[in-house]
């Protein structure tokens, strides 16, 4: 089946007075909750085309000067943990995240993480390509997503240039691709980005890469079996032929623990079910149990700590067709 456009939006088709507000809603629907500021709302001319298949979403857009801010309240409200890569075609943007400021001109790209506060600003009109993917896609290839965000990568030569050219070619040829070809191409682009970031960070050392691959393998195993109530660090280590101490050391280097990572994956799975109308008939206790929690009270407490609201509040909001902002 050929890849189909899931959304095309052009503000020129709307009355001038409603364009900026409609654009703000459309952008948030595509990405995540955030504050949108448009300096000049008297004349707004924005367009976007979006293609999406499973874990990947590719957007081509053009918009006048604007700024976007995603804070802690936004993050708690939607639980989005996607990762995005933006490639300017005309103009430049400034991304602030993790205490870094990345001025990203044409001929470069930058990555950002939906799970951390961030700002995107461009004071002049801008056209760009943007690839959004599920966090697991990046975790399979990168051991430290935070370190890779808000780092400008210039597409002047080598793997970085191949990556930039590859994404532009993908957009040009997207009408000729089947869905599985689109998915495979997006996956290969992320592979190229991961190779570029490794080269830029100087992480090509074989020992480091070996540890990174091992940690990715451990995380993949935990994600796959997170609903298993008996899953422990010892069980994971034994299943993968590793020592429990080594598994704990790898997570410590990533500033977390196996137990914390397992809890986060269980909470994410529960959050996804509570947001999905297909699981509306399941009780919250059942959702908690099927996500790996043995105690509904412990689940509710952990959920509130993670997201800032209770599971019942989330479900009631979704049932009412409301979202947090």
**How does pLDDT run across 78-125, given as a tens digit for each residue?**
888 899 999 999 999 999 998 999 999 999 999 999 988 999 999 999
Q: Who contacts 166 (Cβ-Cβ below 8 Å, separation ≥6)?
A: 185, 188, 189, 192
Closest CA to 50 of 10, 13, 91: 10
Residues of the chain below pLDDT 50: 203-204, 206, 323-325
Instruction: Name the token pair of 224.
Output: 């796959």
Instruction: Name the H helices within 134-229.
Output: 135-139, 145-148, 158-173, 179-201, 206-224
What are the distances in angstroms from CA 61 to CA 51, 86, 167, 249?
A: 12, 11, 14, 43
Instruction: Name the token pair of 205.
Output: 């050392």
Task: Give the separation between CA 190 and CA 186, rounded to whole angstroms.
Answer: 6
Q: What is the pLDDT of residue 324?
A: 46
Q: What is the pLDDT of residue 210?
A: 64
Q: Who contacts 33 (Cβ-Cβ below 8 Å, separation ≥6)?
A: 70, 74, 75, 77, 78, 80, 323, 324, 325
What are the distances in angstroms from CA 30 to CA 57, 129, 315, 316?
A: 9, 13, 21, 23
Task: Give the separation between CA 268 and CA 263, rounded to whole angstroms.
Answer: 9
Task: Give the separation between CA 210 and CA 85, rounded to whole angstroms.
Answer: 25
* Intra-chain end-to-end CA distance of the chain, in Å: 36
Q: Who contacts 115 (Cβ-Cβ below 8 Å, separation ≥6)?
A: 75, 80, 81, 135
DSSP collapsed to 3 states, 214-244: HHHHHHHHHHHCCCCCCCCHHHHHHHCCCCH
Contact 32, 78 (CB under 8 A): yes
In sequence order, what DSSP letters do the residues of 58-97 get, joined into one string? EEEEEE-SEEEEE-HHHHHHH----EEEEEEEES-EEEEE
Burial label for 33, CB within 10 Å (0-12, 13-18, 19+), is buried
Q: Who contacts 174 (Cβ-Cβ below 8 Å, separation ≥6)?
A: 3, 51, 58, 182
């Amino acid at each position: 089946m050929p890849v189909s456009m899931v959304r095309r939006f052009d503000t020129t088709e709307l009355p001038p007075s409603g364009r900026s507000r409609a654009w703000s809603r459309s952008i948030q629907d595509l990405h995540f909750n955030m504050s949108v500021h448009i300096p000049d709302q008297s004349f707004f001319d924005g367009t976007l085309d979006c293609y999406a298949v499973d874990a990947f979403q590719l957007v081509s857009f053009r918009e006048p000067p604007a700024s976007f801010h995603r804070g802690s309240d936004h993050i708690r409200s939607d639980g989005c943990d996607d990762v995005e890569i933006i490639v300017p075609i005309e103009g430049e943007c400034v991304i602030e995240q993790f205490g870094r400021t990345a001025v990203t001109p044409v001929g470069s790209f930058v990555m950002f993480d939906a799970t951390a506060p961030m700002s995107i600003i461009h004071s002049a009109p801008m056209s760009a390509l943007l690839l959004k993917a599920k966090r697991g896609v990046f975790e399979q290839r990168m051991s430290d997503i935070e370190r890779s965000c808000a780092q400008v990568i210039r597409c002047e030569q080598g793997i970085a240039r191949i990556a930039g050219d590859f994404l532009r070619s993908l957009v040009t040829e997207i009408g000729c691709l089947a869905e599985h070809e689109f998915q495979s191409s997006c996956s290969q682009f992320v592979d190229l980005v991961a190779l570029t970031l490794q080269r830029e960070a100087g992480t090509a050392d074989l020992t480091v890469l070996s540890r990174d691959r091992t940690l990715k393998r451990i995380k993949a195993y935990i994600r796959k079996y997170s609903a298993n109530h008996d899953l422990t660090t010892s069980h994971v280590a034994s299943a993968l032929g590793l020592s429990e101490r080594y598994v704990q050391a790898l997570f410590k280097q990533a500033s977390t623990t196996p137990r914390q990572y397992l809890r986060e994956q269980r909470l994410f799975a529960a959050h996804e079910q509570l947001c999905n109308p297909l699981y509306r008939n399941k009780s919250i206790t059942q959702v908690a149990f099927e996500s790996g929690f043995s105690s509904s009270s412990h689940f509710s407490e952990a959920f509130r700590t993670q997201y800032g609201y209770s599971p019942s509040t989330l479900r009631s909001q979704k049932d009412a067709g409301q979202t947090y902002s």
